[in-house]
């Protein structure tokens, strides 16, 4: 894995496979839930957070990431755990300070370089 030094290194469609829960433990995405991230070359990001759509932007300079405040739609999802999972995903997305990547894996880390979100390349197009 190497640190992303520009947006081109992480551009593309991704889906979340692991994220932190309320206890801060890295866990699998809930069964039947899909969290996606589409990173465009202008730094704009959008996707599905499990229930709601979201959008933000990412700037990358010298291996450090700055994520803008995240905006979302405001739907309620009755499936157990989906809304909580979405809240933790969005909080950790905003708290991301660096990104590690390979061609097929993207990891978002916090200021202490702790893994918060793990994604895989989305080849479903």
* Residue 67's CATH number: 2.40.128.270
pTM of whole model > 0.85?
yes
Q: Is the pLDDT of residue 124 over 80?
A: no
CA distance 106 to 38: 12
Average per-residue pLDDT for the chain:
93
Q: What is the DSSP code (8-state) at residue 13?
A: E
Q: Is the pLDDT of residue 11 over 90?
A: yes
Domain that holds residue 13: 2-121
CA distance 3 to 88: 23
Q: Please say whether the dihedral angle defined by the alpha carbons of residues 2, 21, 28 and 76, taken in this order, is positive or negative.
A: negative
Q: What 3 state SS string does 85-124 have? A: HHHHHHHHHHCCCEEEECCCEEEEECCCCCEEEEEEECCC
| CA gyration radius, the chain | 13
Domain count, the chain: 1
């Amino acid at each position: 894995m190497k640190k992303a030094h520009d947006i081109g290194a992480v551009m593309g469609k991704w889906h979340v496979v692991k994220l932190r829960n309320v206890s801060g433990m890295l866990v699998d995405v809930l069964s039947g839930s899909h969290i996606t991230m589409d990173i465009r070359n202008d730094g704009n990001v959008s996707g599905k957070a499990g229930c709601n759509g979201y959008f933000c932007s990412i700037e990358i300079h010298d291996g450090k990431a700055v994520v803008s405040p995240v905006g979302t739609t405001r739907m309620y999802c009755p499936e157990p755990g989906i809304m909580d999972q979405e809240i933790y995903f969005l909080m950790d997305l905003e708290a991301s300070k660096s990104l590690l990547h390979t061609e097929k894996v993207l990891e978002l880390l916090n200021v202490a370089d702790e893994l918060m979100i793990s994604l895989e390349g989305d080849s479903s197009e």
